[in-house]
Structure 1
């Protein structure tokens, strides 16, 4: 999960001149051009968006322009301003944006025109430690140094919600805040005892760490997992399969948030319905996260109001 910055959000919402280029603008050849905001080129959002672009263009008259961005918070800003017609975001970020809570960028400034289209695949909560720390459960984090993700990020908000749900407050541990790539170095150097990250497995930084260190992914399960899901509706059951990371030979139960397609209230109902139908009638054409993306699961974890065009498709 990318870190979330108020500056990214304000930058996206303030680009009034660029917004006129989006909004289902017509092109000279009679096609409708749609702006689709993804994420960084090194993550999952960008290549997946390009696969979705091909499916949509193959099955509609629309032309899709995929743009690399800073991911969820920036994409919410682009949807709010009309600079993007569609975007990939996380369902927890969508919830925070629509309700004006959680992440600093949204506090007191709800994004009222944000609408959901469909959820896609799990962004898994990884609680990573090294075997030598002896940490085997959430309760073992008490008295430890824990990196909860970048300050103000969705990862930090998710981590603190998880810990609070099981009775652990910031008074119970020493909190540190960096990106996961930096947190991975902190683990390796013994500067922190555990770290949270959010991403579709395998997460590259964890895979890299596992090649040189004996890692443990701490399970989130049982009654504690139920409490976490009750504390925030956007959390869902998940599992990291055995063998995903070197040395992690058994499946690890955990929770996840969901990557999702979002749009705005101003988008045409017909356009949203046609785009949704193109994607979910042709999921067999996908190669990225194909095992998770289906019409049957496309409302699992939906955390905001659906666009009327998506509602028309899903019934």
Structure 2
């Protein structure tokens, strides 16, 4: 893919004065950076240090290496909703947005219910990676099924946190209240308060959300007798089927020696209408052409089979460039 710019040809005779030659050379030097400048793409991610930011850097690195005349730059933000807003108004060209936020925005549910903002100018290029909801349990706690959590000591996450919202989804699906547990803590992830309580035995189960494998989780499995609970449950199946922004997924055995079925959301690479069909096609093709390289950077960033990648979110279409690539 190339972005053509007009060139300027200059000629001079040997009799032209040195001053004239210097002037012409100065003009050419001034114009040269413009003719060599690249089409800039801004991709919004979560804050620096997050997996979203890491993924954005890998995407930009791939685009910059493989596509001529394109410069991809990562722009980190502390709030995912800020990225969504900046994408919608054209301040960003691409953004990595979690499927639950994206689904709520385009279908005007949850926190977007009363916002008069139209997100129809956005389109999905491809899903990037799963964000599984995991339940870590102590191996000596006698918890082997979801129903075994009843009567146990658990940490459900701090109020308003992503972990707490996920725990409330599970509890609603199962028809539980906090009273069914022996102890229901509301410890945050900050300063490792949740993991400390888990390792000390104050709680026997805790909810986690994120990509795998993760070094912090590996340490919990090795040092604190943690295992992921296999969530193979009819109530959870019904929950997933009722929420287009959720998918069934697995935490693989290669990550922590034991496979665990669960559910979660997906990080989506979303484009604004600034990205035309040709550019969207080129980006999607480059990413899928470098699947092995992306997977080598982290196993979670392995993209999806084409048939799976074509499944979007209710209310939001697949980008026409991505659609063309997937149809090939």
1:225 and 1:150, CA in 2 relative to 1: closer, same or farther beyond 3 A? same
Residue in structure 2 matched with residue 230 of structure 1 by the alignment: 241
Q: 2:228 aligns with which of 183, 197, 217?
A: 217
1:161 and 1:269, CA in 2 relative to 1: closer, same or farther beyond 3 A? same
1:111 and 1:193, CA in 2 relative to 1: closer, same or farther beyond 3 A? farther
SS of aligned partner of 1:297: helix
SS of aligned partner of 1:132: coil
CA distance in 2, matches of 1:185, 1:110: 43
1:139 and 1:51, CA in 2 relative to 1: closer, same or farther beyond 3 A? same
CA distance in 1, matches of 2:200, 2:118: 44
Residue in structure 2 matched with residue 108 of structure 1 by the alignment: 114
SS of aligned partner of 2:88: helix
Residue in structure 2 matched with residue 82 of structure 1 by the alignment: 90
Count of aligned pairs: 284
RMSD: 2.8
1:143 and 1:115, CA in 2 relative to 1: closer, same or farther beyond 3 A? farther
Give CA-to-partner distance per residue, 1:138-186, whole Å, 9 cap, x none: 2223344433334323333233223322332445443525227331122
Residue in structure 1 matched with residue 322 of structure 2 by the alignment: 310
1:107 deviates by 4.6
CA distance in 1, matches of 2:260, 2:278: 42
* Matched-pair contact (CA < 8 Å) for 1:34–1:62: yes
1:294 deviates by 4.5
Q: Following superposition of structure 1 onto structure 2, how do residues 163-312 of structure 1 map, counting pairs within 5 Å?
A: 163-173=171-181, 174=184, 176-179=186-189, 181-242=192-253, 244-245=255-256, 249-286=257-294, 287-288=296-297, 289=299, 291-300=302-311, 302=313, 304-306=315-317, 307-312=319-324
Q: Which moved more, 1:145-154 or 1:195-204?
A: 145-154
* Matched-pair contact (CA < 8 Å) for 1:283–1:293: no
Larger Rg: 2
1:296 and 1:62, CA in 2 relative to 1: closer, same or farther beyond 3 A? farther
Residue in structure 2 matched with residue 124 of structure 1 by the alignment: 132
SS of aligned partner of 1:67: strand
Q: 2:169 aligns with which of 161, 168, 171?
A: 161
SS of aligned partner of 2:306: coil
Give CA-to-partner distance per residue, 1:211-237, whole Å, 9 cap, x none: 321113111114244223223222222
* Matched-pair contact (CA < 8 Å) for 1:85–1:267: yes
1:208 and 1:250, CA in 2 relative to 1: closer, same or farther beyond 3 A? closer
1:126 deviates by 0.9
CA distance in 1, matches of 2:151, 2:291: 46
* Matched-pair contact (CA < 8 Å) for 2:132–2:211: yes
TM-score, with length taken from structure 2: 0.74
CA distance in 2, matches of 1:71, 1:268: 26
More helix by share: 2
* Matched-pair contact (CA < 8 Å) for 1:116–1:304: no
- 2:70 is aligned with 1:59: no
